[in-house]
Amino acid sequence: MNRRKKKWKKRLVGCVLAFAICMYGPVGWTAEDIFPKEASGAVEMEEDTVLVGGMPVGIYMETEGVLVLDTQGVKGMDGQEYEPAHNLVQSGDYIVGINDTRISDKKELVRTLDELDKKEVVLSVKRDMENIDIKLDAVECEPGEYKLGIWVKDNIQGLGTITFLNQNSEFGALGHGIHDNDTGVLLNISEGRVYRTSIRSVVKGMDGVPGSMEGLIVYNRYNRLGTIRKNTEKGIYGQLDDIQALFSEQMAVQVAKKEEVVPGPATIRCYVNDKLEEYAIRILEINEAAYDTNKGMVIEVTDERLLQETGGIVQGMSGSPILQNGKLVGAVTHVFVNDPTKGYGIFAEIMIRESEN
């Protein structure tokens, strides 16, 4: 591993200089910066080589419209209880408009309701990728004050791990999608960003109680690292603007095909105790035809150092790269609640393919 890192650093000199000159704009890296042009097989290496991650990032995503969590009753001016949205609006719907006014977040929703001068409302809703209009009567709770009786949210924040960076400065992370905790719905995002984070503590996992990484994230432009382009069941993907801030240790590896991954020794790369290291694991099972693509392999942490610090796999490790035989073979996605030493992983090949779509 040390030899590979040294070789990578020597070949990256030109890329580092280019980054220093262009540090105020998005910068990609290409295989030409890494592999000598005269090297045999250089073209083939370009296509399946990435920078391997393992670094935690803060995640902020805004939904496309306002996500409906549930409906509730509201009290009208007459003192009666009403449920104007019951059986009309569903948990998991996205409100994208009211009476032909576009809605992108909760602030716009509240402002539009404040401007209502009649109870008749037409909600434009996105449900299961279809756009539908829903007519309902808002409840006047105070003179000129209308309510719909709907619980909503419009953003989500959290912590995750970067898996890889490709030649176009595009990253893949998590290995699974980000779902709303209340509805279980995969969040349909309008925009998202990744930020620097510092891990302050780790809550150790125990049988029946998953552990977690606890970090400090300051969501401002100075800590912003890049943008999230899409949130899918196979991970989140986007563009890094500041590569050096995240990939200070740049290690290039090839991406393994699914059929190259075998049960046996491997490592995961993750950030524990203020440093990025590889820890020993064992791939227990391979299931290329798994119904859930982010459960294509079963892994077990065997490294005593990691077991001592975290108890195994904890929340926040999702996306930690899995390496075997010097190649990126996958990423950690889930932990077994009743046994934190074990978890699931997704094949790296699947994440790479998803990043290209």
| 176 annotated active-site | yes
pLDDT digits (tens, 9 = 90+) for 49-107: 999 999 999 999 988 888 898 899 989 888 889 899 999 999 889 999 999 889 888 88
Residue 218 has a pLDDT of 81
| 40 annotated active-site | no
Kindly name the residue from 33, 93, 104, 176 that is annotated as catalytic: 176
Task: Indicate the average pLDDT of the chain.
Answer: 82
pLDDT digits (tens, 9 = 90+) for 18-64: 222 222 222 333 333 333 333 222 223 356 899 999 999 999 998 88
Taking alpha carbons only, the member of 323, 320, 328 closest to residue 254 is 328
Q: Classify domain 2-61+156-356 at the CATH class level.
A: mainly beta
Res. 284: pLDDT tops 70 = yes
| 318 annotated active-site | yes
Kindly name the residue from 105, 137, 292, 303 that is annotated as catalytic: 303
pLDDT digits (tens, 9 = 90+) for 231-281: 999 999 999 988 888 887 788 999 999 999 999 999 999 998 888 999 999
What's the alpha-carbon Rg for the chain, to the nearest Å?
23
Taking alpha carbons only, the member of 3, 60, 51, 76 closest to residue 248 is 51
Residue 29 has a pLDDT of 34
Q: Tell which CATH architecture fits domain 73-148.
A: Roll (2.30)
Looking at the chain, list the stretches that DSSP marks H as alpha helix, in order from N- to C-terminal side.
Answer: 2-11, 13-21, 42-47, 106-114, 243-246, 304-310, 348-356
- Please state at what angle helix 13-21 crosses helix 2-11, rounded to 10 degrees: 50
Under 8 Å between Cβ of 344 and 295: yes
DSSP designation for 25:
S
3-state secondary structure of 262: coil
Q: Quick one: which H or E segment has residue 205?
A: none
The structure tokens listed for 277 are 């290291």
Q: Max alpha carbon distance in the chain (Å)?
A: 83
Under 8 Å between Cβ of 220 and 236: no
The structure tokens listed for 79 are 């003192």
Residue 348 has a pLDDT of 96
Domain ranges for the chain, please list them. 2-61+156-356, 73-148
The fraction of the chain above a pLDDT of 70, given in percent, is: 87
Under 8 Å between Cβ of 284 and 298: yes
Burial class of residue 246 in the structure, from the number of CB atoms within 10 Å of its CB (0-12 exposed, 13-18 middle, 19+ buried): buried
Taking alpha carbons only, the member of 223, 228, 216 closest to residue 242 is 223
Residue 224 has a pLDDT of 92
Kindly name the residue from 104, 318, 320, 355 that is annotated as catalytic: 318
